[in-house]
């Protein structure tokens, strides 16, 4: 505990000494690690604007696919290797890494930067990125999850999508719209292993089917009837009506499948809408409807997540790093995206003011209200039907989950690929979960 408090004190001193928005650093080269999602590719393309405004700062990106990025950033920050000045993390890592003293307290910077306005950040997102009331990362974008569907295909088939569908209804729609002859999948879902890939949507299915990872006494529940029903449903839905090769598909692959008109539905992150409605990458612009995350036994099931930016305590360039963070997560940057790349591509779910921009309200009227509603109504503190000892909708807020979730996801992916049964996948997963649960019981 003493070591932890010392580390936190040193981190706080480093932040306070750097100041916020003061005199510019000289000749700084920032090392920024980000995830290769569409919104992050946008910020790379617009960074020349930041460098023009800050001529003494050069930004160098390391961009990797989600699974690789998580592993590299975690290894770098946890070992204090001084590899990066800025890292892209989430509301899973932020509170834990703040507690460990791995990332800098950003609250002094926020407080000292005129116009940054933390109260404009969506409250549920701000809370998720804070520890003891201080922000330790700031949101690049935020998201929940919802169901996207092809309005034209539904109309042609005489189907009506309810505003709050059940998974039973989704399965019926997928069966009717799946067409192997034309290459149209009834639904696209993630199947790629990774706790941030297949487990993200699958955990919401488990939750709303009445399942859970642990009971309040930290007894593993992955072989319970509710979890077996949920996972069997998900795997069978993909096998029968999902996209070909689903076991290899994550967010990016499903975005391509749906955007190229090869799937009638797609359940995934609300942030996907910007890609779906972007005419430079999508053939289904204006053809998609957006409704709440499907449910079964719960009232709602959408997740809460934010890709955010933090500063490792080892960075010697904290002031320059904050300059970059405050630019990339500002109102001005959001406006810049709209003006340069199109209003549908704004980073969603971070600031309330985004949803008052007239151009965005017009362009994103099909999905923006549902996105904001989903983010504001997510319940990470009460994610399941039955009581649990953890928080988080599509993840568990324990440090072991990064490894546990990865191991379990590999079992699920193997079941989707037809390499083993769901029962075998969950039996193996139960053993992994038991080992973690035993440590919490003791």
pLDDT digits (tens, 9 = 90+) for 86-109: 999 999 999 999 999 999 999 999
pLDDT single digits (tens) 387-411: 999 999 999 999 999 999 999 999 9
Per-residue pLDDT for 285 more than 90? yes
Residue 100, in any domain of the structure: yes
Segment 210-230 mean pLDDT? 98
294, 333: one domain? no
pLDDT-derived band at 415 (thresholds 50, 70, 90) equals: very high
8, 127: one domain? yes
Q: What percent of the chain has pLDDT over 70?
A: 94
CB 15 within 8 A of CB 105: yes
Give the domain extent around 218. 145-302+373-441
Q: How far is CA 280 from the centre of its chain?
A: 23
For the ranges 63-77, 89-103, 226-240, which has the lowest average pLDDT? 63-77
159, 124: one domain? no
**Domain tally for the chain?**
2
Residue 75, in any domain of the structure: yes
Residue 106, in any domain of the structure: yes
Residue 190, in any domain of the structure: yes
117, 260: one domain? no
95, 66: one domain? yes
CB 37 within 8 A of CB 252: yes
Last residue of a domain, one of 315, 331, 363: 363
CB 30 within 8 A of CB 320: yes
Please state, rounded to an integer, the average pLDDT across all residues of the chain: 93
Residue 368, in any domain of the structure: no
386, 409: one domain? yes
Q: Any idea what the Cα angle at residue 114 is, between residues 108 and 115, rounded to 5°?
A: 115
212, 66: one domain? no
Segment 292-307 mean pLDDT? 97
How far apart CA 137 and CA 128 sit, in angstroms, is 10
Which H or E run contains 227?
Answer: helix 225-241
What pLDDT score does 66 carry? Answer: 87
What pLDDT score does 26 carry? Answer: 60
pLDDT single digits (tens) 120-140: 999 999 999 999 999 999 999
CATH at residue 244:
3.40.190.10
Distance, first Cα to last Cα, the chain? 19
379, 289: one domain? yes
114, 214: one domain? no
In terms of Cβ atoms closer than 10 Å to its own Cβ (0-12, 13-18, 19+), residue 434 is middle
Per-residue pLDDT for 319 more than 90? yes
pLDDT-derived band at 9 (thresholds 50, 70, 90) equals: very low
17, 70: one domain? yes
CA distances for 8 relative to 51, 99, 175, 307, 365, angstroms: 31, 8, 54, 23, 44
Per-residue pLDDT for 8 more than 50? no
Residue 258, in any domain of the structure: yes
Q: What is the pTM of this model?
A: 0.88
Residue 335, in any domain of the structure: yes
Backbone φ, ψ for residue 312 (5° rounding): -60, 145
116, 170: one domain? no
Last residue of a domain, one of 337, 363, 389: 363
Residue 173, in any domain of the structure: yes
What pLDDT score does 315 carry? Answer: 97
184, 332: one domain? no
How far apart CA 74 and CA 262 sit, in angstroms, is 35
């Amino acid at each position: 505990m003493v070591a932890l408090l010392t580390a936190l004190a040193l981190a706080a001193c480093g932040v306070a000494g750097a100041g916020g928005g003061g005199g510019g650093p000289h000749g700084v080269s920032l090392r920024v690690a980000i995830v290769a999602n569409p919104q992050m590719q946008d910020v790379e393309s617009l960074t020349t604007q930041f460098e023009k405004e800050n001529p003494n700062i050069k930004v160098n990106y390391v961009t990797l696919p989600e699974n690789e990025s998580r592993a590299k950033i975690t290894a770098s920050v946890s070992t204090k290797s001084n590899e990066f000045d800025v890292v892209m993390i989430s509301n899973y890592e932020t509170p834990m890494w703040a507690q460990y003293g791995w990332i800098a307290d950003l609250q002094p910077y926020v407080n000292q930067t005129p116009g940054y306005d933390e109260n404009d950040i969506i409250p549920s997102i701000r809370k998720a990125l804070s520890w003891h009331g201080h922000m330790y990362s700031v949101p690049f974008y935020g998201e929940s999850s919802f169901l996207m569907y092809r309005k034209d295909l539904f109309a042609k088939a005489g189907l009506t999508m309810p505003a709050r569908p059940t998974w039973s209804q989704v399965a019926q729609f997928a069966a009717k719209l799946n067409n192997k002859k034309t290459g149209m999948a009834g639904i696209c879902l993630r199947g790629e292993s990774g706790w941030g890939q297949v487990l993200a949507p699958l955990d919401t299915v488990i939750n709303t089917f009445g399942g859970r990872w642990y009971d309040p006494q930290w007894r593993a529940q992955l072989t319970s009837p509710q979890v077996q029903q949920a996972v069997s449903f998900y795997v069978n839905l993909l096998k029968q009506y999902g996209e070909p090769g689903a076991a290899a598909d994550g967010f990016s692959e499903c975005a391509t499948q749906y955007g190229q008109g090869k799937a009638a539905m797609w359940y995934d992150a609300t942030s996907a809408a910007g890609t779906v409605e972007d005419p430079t990458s999508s053939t289904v612009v204006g053809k998609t409807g957006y409704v709440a995350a499907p449910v079964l036994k719960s009232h709602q099931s959408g997740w809460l997540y934010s890709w955010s930016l933090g500063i490792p305590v080892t960075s010697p360039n904290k002031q320059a790093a904050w300059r970059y963070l405050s630019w990339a997560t500002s109102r001005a940057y959001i406006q810049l995206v709209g003006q340069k790349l199109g209003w549908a591509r704004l980073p969603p779910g971070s600031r309330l003011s985004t949803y008052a921009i007239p151009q965005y309200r017009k362009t994103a009227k099909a999905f923006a209200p549902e996105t904001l509603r989903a983010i504001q109504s997510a319940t990470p503190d009460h994610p399941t039907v039955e009581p649990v000892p953890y928080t988080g909708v599509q993840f568990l807020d324990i440090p072991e989950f990064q490894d546990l979730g990865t191991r379990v996801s590999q079992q699920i992916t193997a079941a989707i690929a037809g390499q083993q049964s769901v029962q075998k996948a969950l039996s193996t997963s139960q053993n992994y979960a038991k080992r973690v649960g035993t440590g919490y019981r003791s």
